Structure 1
């Protein structure tokens, strides 16, 4: 081993002894000693082969047990099934279209999804942190989503402060996590915060999916060591999938689950692994990283069926199945299955009372969090405000100070249509911000913290003031520049139509993003939908000649159509325009009762577009109904989707 490697290991060892001082931090109130052990038996995950349609086992008859205070590392080469097993034992969807069988138990009692969610937290490989929040705010809101009202404010504060200190984040307490525009925490600090924000929810079991991904060996050691200190102090069960850890990081774990091709190659104490492999004539050389040695033995990524590596891996799997350690593992799992005689000294989890936040607490927490994100994250609304202001200036200066003579009638109509249509179209800029919020929701929902209704209600409410501000801002600029009707009521009605337009457009973006949670796809579909509404709204093709298919299938559910009609009535209902004066009289472009006087009634313009009068209240009701339908459909999609 090189001198650099030796110095790195020495530095890590020194850091380990130094960081164990974390144990002196008093955090014993965080976790109640409820789960003595967590186990699984005969765990099998099956999927259908895409070509043959026959079932394939991607996890085959796995057994395991982890006791309170222990850390288990699930290791294996790519495609070995480690993430599949982690998801399966966490009662999550193991893989697309997968069927999971077997028993998952805590204290020897079978666990369903609801109970597992109450007992555990799952930390994703890609964290669910919101970049515009500070460390303290992240912890505060995590506590608010999980802790019941019975936990006092002082206790919540103490709990978050203890965890911030335990993970070495005191100096970064008021630092934001970090956004693409503003730098915040380092990679290692983000990983630590991600775990800390899950521990504040008071779990007994913590599942970690690749907690060291993207980190160098020093930062990986740092993150796992902080987790180890907390786990030992509070008797946590920690189960982590991990890929190629350094020697120092690897030795922080108590147990190892080694997998290849969905089958177990070893499960047991870390220190016993080398003895097991020596017993099957695969001794581990000195001066080598044990994790790399084990992975190299079973890595079949480049192997072909029948070659030496493939045969060796199959032999390791077969040897493990017939080994004494494997038999002891099965017996240990069986011996720890809960029975009535255990009721005296092992908590009966079926009788566990779970205190959750009140019905209104979660939407309130989400609203507070969304408000901070909205005014700090310029991607969410600030850039959009600048965009809409730019559009207002563009529209106002293109359609500048229009007059009340007949040649300006069409420009007035164009200004109304393109102003409202472009406002609606530009709502697609909300796609990335919503997808980020939805990604956070998916992870929090998987941990049983947030439901679809709370998420969508808070998302809707928090957008109202921003959208209203945008509508006011646009109206103030364009209404004056374009010289729309000089009347206060007309101005506020113009603003109202724009506000409803934006609200409907954003609701459509939410629905599309919920159905297609992929940025490019959601952006394309939302843009296409807005283009469709522009085509069938009644401006580009008047209603009296619009193709019946587009008219009856799409026009009447087109929110832009009602906005256009409302704005047209607002501008033309009580306005007159002068005709062109000719030698023999007047030439008027719209037939009107006032043509003989050289004038055109605005109602004549509305008649030409087949727009009725005195139906504004009905149109407002239809717009509100469309907004509600979009939001309800979004809720149903989230409700039915099994993340």
Structure 2
């Protein structure tokens, strides 16, 4: 399909969308004045400006390119402009205005969309499903299903993705679309809401020159036709792609070297004595001018950079720009109020968002084997191994320790293997981070949906594991004993996965989260009462960790389930004398009462409900702490 046909299709698709409903002049301009971001220098401990007195203005229908060498402050500036946290522990001075009027974060988010540099996409969804869920989360319920479908199909067509619409994005296990197609999908998913301000962080990253041109050309057509403001950080565009932008802001070392029309770039730098050779990409030429990283003569480069910064700050163009910004701020009444604009972009129904997230997670859970498929296989392997190692143990005192070992192994390693959930959760967390930054939902909806979608799968894992290991191991052969075993292991897995959620939210780096979770499980194994019986456990470990160890309650509950309702035969010597390892009331019958084994650990029967309650509290606390981490960190 030709590019022109793409644009025709999307225009038809959006003919009845919010772009058409909004007047073309709803958002006249977006301006920023005196943006300064200061951090503490790590070596000198002195304040360091990573952005210094940045001014700018974009009008409706224009596209602004943010360019500069690595470390120039492009992404930081883009984050500040988009009302996002630029960097941790930074002091930010800013004045951001729409139509000359400062706006609140809530209003700004309803007007804008942000495309991340990294493609945060769910690999087990198709491209059409990705846009469908973007629409479900972002669009108000007043927009009909027909219009949602029209937007989705129009965007798929416009970005050249119609032929791949039913193809999976791609997971580590299943191959999906190319990197360039993922990039186009990321941009398309943010256009689903018909934003009036669009931020793009390296939108052409991973694309070849032809695909880069097509993406930017489409965005430009939308910007021009529907008066959308577009601000994009871009690394090194081709000549044709660079020419699509209306304005350029060139940064270096956190300062502006140029901020004006792309068409005047060549003349401006030639007026300063920097002549552009023939047949040279203008974007490459200006980046080389302001890039001092690879200069052999650092003093000369520093002087050149200082000359560029000073020349711009004292130029007539900079003075005119500053005047326009201040005039717009002084006459905001002549422009459309941003509150009126926001009314066209109500949020989706917040009560339905958790159901949308559950629906999306459900699709992911059964398609992506990394989420639960591999875990089910792992647990089945563990169950077979456990059942055949502890195969058909007879209820005799010589096997009492073997039963205890099996109980510990089953509970502890079921918990430990929950680390396999970390990759899937981190993918969900990256999606949540992007969607929360766009104002779609908060940690409550995310944590709730994450918890609810896991319950049936964890229960399925527990039942399958128990059907194999419980009966092969010949634990208490009753239905009540089996289902009580299932209950404890299910709560064990629920707590273990909640711990994974907490630690992975706190440290969202795979290797670190894996190490932290493994360490925590090792700690719980040591103090759960098996290695050292609770009454002889060191006072520090007992009172600080044992009583908050979910594995301790699982081990206790499974011990009571096995030994609270079963007796074991004692050993009869050759001379016919019965020898019992545990003194009990049944010793004269040559039996060991199971309760005697419990007594040696300080356990007793009758407290099952109380310990189930403790486990539920631990699960709730883990989830609450995970929610608190996400809430405080604004992820």
TM-score clears 0.5: yes
| Structure 1 residues 48 and 15: CA distance shift in structure 2, 3 A | farther
Q: Is the 8 A contact 1:44 1:101 kept in 2?
A: yes
**Deviation of the 1:52 alpha carbon:** 2.4
Q: Is the 8 A contact 2:100 2:332 kept in 1?
A: no
Secondary structure of the residue that 1:370 maps to in structure 2? helix
CA distance in 1, matches of 2:477, 2:485: 12
> 1:243 — aligned with what?
235
> 2:250 — aligned with what?
258
- 2:75 corresponds to 1:83: yes
**Deviation of the 1:96 alpha carbon:** 2.3
Which of 153, 160, 173 pairs up with 2:152?
A: 160
Structure 1: unaligned runs, 5 residues or longer: 1-13
Q: Is the 8 A contact 1:109 1:349 kept in 2?
A: no
Q: Is the 8 A contact 1:119 1:203 kept in 2?
A: yes
CA distance in 2, matches of 1:97, 1:215: 34
TM-score by length of 1: 0.95
**Deviation of the 1:222 alpha carbon:** 2.6
Q: Is the 8 A contact 1:399 1:415 kept in 2?
A: yes
Q: Is the 8 A contact 1:81 1:262 kept in 2?
A: yes
The runs of 4+ residues in structure 1 deviating greater than 3 Å are 14-26, 303-306, 347-352
| Structure 1 residues 17 and 136: CA distance shift in structure 2, 3 A | closer
> 2:411 — aligned with what?
420
**Deviation of the 1:584 alpha carbon:** 4.9
Q: Is the 8 A contact 1:46 1:98 kept in 2?
A: yes
Which of 57, 63, 68 pairs up with 1:71?
A: 63
| Structure 1 residues 540 and 198: CA distance shift in structure 2, 3 A | same
Q: Is the 8 A contact 1:23 1:229 kept in 2?
A: no
CA distance in 1, matches of 2:320, 2:277: 27
> 1:370 — aligned with what?
361
CA distance in 2, matches of 1:483, 1:366: 41
Trace 1:375-394 onto structure 2 (pairs within 5 A).
Answer: 375-394=366-385
> 1:349 — aligned with what?
339
> 2:104 — aligned with what?
112
> 2:88 — aligned with what?
96
- 2:350 corresponds to 1:359: yes
**Deviation of the 1:76 alpha carbon:** 0.4
**Deviation of the 1:331 alpha carbon:** 1.3
Trace 1:187-202 onto structure 2 (pairs within 5 A).
Answer: 187-202=179-194
Which of 604, 611, 616 pairs up with 1:619?
A: 611
CA distance in 1, matches of 2:331, 2:209: 44
> 2:570 — aligned with what?
579
- Number of residue pairs the alignment of both structures matches: 628
- 2:271 corresponds to 1:271: no
> 1:463 — aligned with what?
454
CA distance in 2, matches of 1:451, 1:441: 8
> 1:500 — aligned with what?
491
> 2:394 — aligned with what?
403
- 2:131 corresponds to 1:139: yes
CA distance in 2, matches of 1:340, 1:203: 22
Trace 1:555-566 onto structure 2 (pairs within 5 A).
Answer: 555-566=546-557
> 1:291 — aligned with what?
283
Structure 2: unaligned runs, 5 residues or longer: none
**Deviation of the 1:576 alpha carbon:** 1.0
CA distance in 1, matches of 2:477, 2:178: 56
Secondary structure of the residue that 1:630 maps to in structure 2? helix
**Deviation of the 1:307 alpha carbon:** 2.3
| Structure 1 residues 456 and 525: CA distance shift in structure 2, 3 A | same
1:56-106 alpha-carbon deviations (Å, 9 max, x no partner): 111111111111111111000111111111111111111221111121111
Q: Is the 8 A contact 1:396 1:479 kept in 2?
A: yes
**Deviation of the 1:132 alpha carbon:** 0.5
Between stretches 188-197 and 378-387, larger displacement belongs to 188-197
> 1:27 — aligned with what?
14
CA distance in 2, matches of 1:351, 1:293: 40
